[in-house]
Amino acid sequence: MAGLALLARQQGHRVTGCDRQVYPPMSTQLQEQGIALIEGYDPKQLEPHPDLVVIGNAMSRGNPCVEYALDHQLSYISGPQFLAEHILKDRHVLAVAGTHGKTTTSSMLAWILEHTGHDTGFLIGGVPQNFGVSARLGSSPFFVIEADEYDSAFFDKRSKFIHYRPHILVINNLEFDHADIFDSLADIQKQFHYLIRTVPATGCICYPQTEAILQLIEQGCWSQVQRVASDAWSIQIDDQVGHQLTLFEQEQAQGTIHWPLLGQHNADNALMACLAAYQIGIPIADACEVLAHFQPPKRRLELLLEYQDIKVYDDFAHHPTAIETTLKSVRKSLKEGRLIAVFEPRSATMKRGVHQDALAQALATADQCFLYQAQDLNWNLAQMMQQESAEYYVFTDVEQLAQDLLLQLLPHDVVVIMSNGSFDGLHQTIVEGIKQR
């Protein structure tokens, strides 16, 4: 929604918005762009009546502003439909979908286009550090969008990406998530199938050959495809030569990336971004050269602090696969010291306990785990962690968690804080606490 506000403002509209407990980086981005952000949902902010109310999918019936808009017959629309009608119409859309890596891959893709002569538009669900903003209109025909499978609005339960009608579609991966709106992986595959139906025959779908994605493709595909597989495209990491990646087409090297990013997941993201750019005529070697200067989006394994031999990372991981991948990537880079995982189970899926059986194993890579048991979490973290032998501590108070963590920190420790929310400001508390030691 913050990105939508930026795009509407760039089109010349006067834009205001409201939310509750907005946190960085989106809150600071809105402030920097001069967009008024109102705390809470007092209907008086809708007086005088705006020309259009864009309603985010977190809003539901009973919300004071929603009820006011309905009672007074204000013109309203979902965010994805606003995009379709006002931003994406007549653009060549490159959409990045999948359970993991959407923000990073779409940021990479926009960066590749930017530095190969295209003033591309983009809308990304994070803040790419190379651009400093999460959205812009751009002047080229191309528009890169992070394509989320979450529903559009309380009055439109279709996945958001159904509105985008991409010409190039990346499907990074596919797992069960969003248990608050989907009952199974098959439910999610159905929405992705509807998305595939919107890609034209002259368009292209880029995907790895995982079981879930192959099942999806078998339901029907009418477009060109670009597969990631041993007999098609692949990528290899050579950590003996720094962080070097080499992209191959049928075992023939096509480009090399030298960069500081960690992990196989970022290598996979890079390959998908390069393949998407390749579909619009950008040579793989050129895309690789651009990615050498790529900076990950904020909160995607973002290094917050490196101080007196202690490192603190902020990561958005909230699904067991992403948690495990993140921790293994950091573990592989460690030469000495302990890996400390700090985790808040905050997503709707996590709160329902859907992935609790896989969570303990995902966290097992860490030497110590500091876990936050929020009041609205209806399952027991300590009981879950007993499945593994990892050293763990469970807290019901964020401030106490921070105090205990700071007391236990040793030289060369690496702390990875994982949450898809603000974590009650824990990140800054830890950073400032380390500096004051």
pLDDT digits (tens, 9 = 90+) for 129-180: 889 899 999 999 999 999 999 999 999 999 999 999 999 999 999 988 877 7
Q: Is 92 exposed, middle or buried (0-12, 13-18, 19+ CB in 10 A)?
A: middle
Quickly list DSSP for 318-345. -SHHHHHHHHHHHHHH-SSS-EEEEE--
Looking at the structure, tell me whether residues 326 and 372 fall in a common domain.
yes
Cα separation, 347 vs 401, in Å, equals: 20
Residue written as token pair 């019901």: 396
pLDDT digits (tens, 9 = 90+) for 82-133: 999 999 999 999 999 999 889 999 999 999 999 999 999 999 988 888 898 9
Element (H, E) at 367: none
Q: Give the type of residue at 294.
A: F
Question: Is 334 part of a structural domain of the chain?
Answer: yes
DSSP state letter for 49: P
Looking at the structure, tell me whether residues 17 and 110 fall in a common domain.
no
pLDDT number for residue 240: 59
Over pLDDT 90: what percentage of the chain? 62
Least confident of 207-211, 238-242, 311-315, 398-402: 238-242
pLDDT digits (tens, 9 = 90+) for 405-422: 999 999 999 999 999 888
Taking residues 71-75, what's their average pLDDT? 98
Question: Is 27 part of a structural domain of the chain?
Answer: yes
pLDDT number for residue 381: 85
Indicate the residue among 36, 60, 77 that finishes a domain.
Answer: 77
Question: Is 155 part of a structural domain of the chain?
Answer: yes
Alpha helices by DSSP H, 33-172: 64-71, 79-86, 102-114
The pLDDT confidence band at residue 231, using thresholds 50, 70 and 90, is: confident
Looking at the structure, tell me whether residues 257 and 391 fall in a common domain.
no
Looking at the structure, tell me whether residues 186 and 42 fall in a common domain.
no
Looking at the structure, tell me whether residues 68 and 85 fall in a common domain.
no
Question: Is 296 part of a structural domain of the chain?
Answer: no
Q: What's the per-residue H, E or C state across 100-126?
A: CCHHHHHHHHHHHHHCCCCCCEEECCC
Indicate the residue among 77, 98, 126 that finishes a domain.
Answer: 77
Q: Give the type of residue at 257.
A: I
Cα separation, 383 vs 390, in Å, equals: 13
Question: Is 124 part of a structural domain of the chain?
Answer: yes
Cα separation, 23 vs 165, in Å, equals: 31
Looking at the structure, tell me whether residues 204 and 146 fall in a common domain.
yes
pLDDT number for residue 341: 93
Indicate the residue among 291, 317, 337 that finishes a domain.
Answer: 291
pLDDT number for residue 74: 98
Cα separation, 89 vs 321, in Å, equals: 35
Q: Give the type of residue at 343.
A: F
State which residues form the domain around 185. 81-291
Residue 15, helix vs strand vs coil:
coil
Longest CA span, the chain: 65
Looking at the structure, tell me whether residues 124 and 259 fall in a common domain.
yes
Cα separation, 152 vs 79, in Å, equals: 7
Question: Is 106 part of a structural domain of the chain?
Answer: yes
Looking at the structure, tell me whether residues 208 and 335 fall in a common domain.
no
Question: Is 51 part of a structural domain of the chain?
Answer: yes
Looking at the structure, tell me whether residues 190 and 254 fall in a common domain.
yes
pLDDT number for residue 389: 66
Cβ(120)–Cβ(142) below 8 Å = yes
pLDDT number for residue 328: 87
Residue 311, helix vs strand vs coil:
strand
Residue 382, helix vs strand vs coil:
helix
Looking at the structure, tell me whether residues 279 and 335 fall in a common domain.
no
pLDDT number for residue 239: 63
Number of domains in the chain: 3
Please tell me which residue, 295 or 171, carries the higher pLDDT value: 171
- For residue 261, the domain's CATH number is 3.40.1190.10
- Look up the pTM and report it: 0.83
Looking at the structure, tell me whether residues 235 and 359 fall in a common domain.
no
Residue 419, helix vs strand vs coil:
coil
pLDDT digits (tens, 9 = 90+) for 335-393: 888 999 999 988 877 777 777 778 888 898 899 999 999 888 888 888 888 877 678 99
Looking at the structure, tell me whether residues 220 and 260 fall in a common domain.
yes
Cβ(302)–Cβ(296) below 8 Å = yes
Is it the case that residue 242 has pLDDT exceeding 60?
A: no
Question: Is 297 part of a structural domain of the chain?
Answer: no
Residue 267, helix vs strand vs coil:
helix
Q: Would you put residue 93 in left (φ > 0), alpha (ψ -120 to 50) or beta?
A: beta
Residue written as token pair 């009981």: 383
pLDDT number for residue 177: 80
- For residue 314, the domain's CATH number is 3.90.190.20
pLDDT number for residue 236: 83
The mean pLDDT value of the chain amounts to: 90
196: which 2 tokens?
A: 């595939």
Cα separation, 232 vs 412, in Å, equals: 41
pLDDT digits (tens, 9 = 90+) for 420-434: 888 889 999 999 999
Cβ(10)–Cβ(136) below 8 Å = yes
